[in-house]
Amino acid sequence: MIQRIRLEISTENPSEILNAIQVDNVELPEGMTIKMKENEKGVEIIVEMRYTDPRSILTLRNTVDEILEHVEMLERVLKSDSKL
């Protein structure tokens, strides 16, 4: 069974967000895939994890939490840079 979480992130800086978080998309846990693309609203991120045991769901959740934390931090940095 595959568990999937789809994130739609509205942002004025989709290219910058994608470029920054794709660097982290290198060594994924076994059974996990992350797809990212720019769309008309900002950024779409789909994280999938093959269910093998209850820990795989926690891994999926933790990965999504980490992505959201990075995006939030990037948005703050980009907003503060635009004020300079």
What are the structural domain ranges in the chain?
Answer: 2-82
Above 70 in pLDDT, residue 84? no
The per-residue pLDDT for 24 is 65
The per-residue pLDDT for 82 is 67
User: Where does 2-82 sit in CATH, by number?
Assistant: 3.30.310
**β-pairing, 2-10 with 32-38?**
unpaired
d(CA 67, CA 69): 5
> Model-level pTM?
0.86
Intra-chain end-to-end CA distance of the chain, in Å: 48
The per-residue pLDDT for 83 is 65
What's the pLDDT tens digit per position in 17-68? 999 988 666 789 899 999 999 999 999 999 999 999 999 999 999 999 999 9
The per-residue pLDDT for 66 is 93
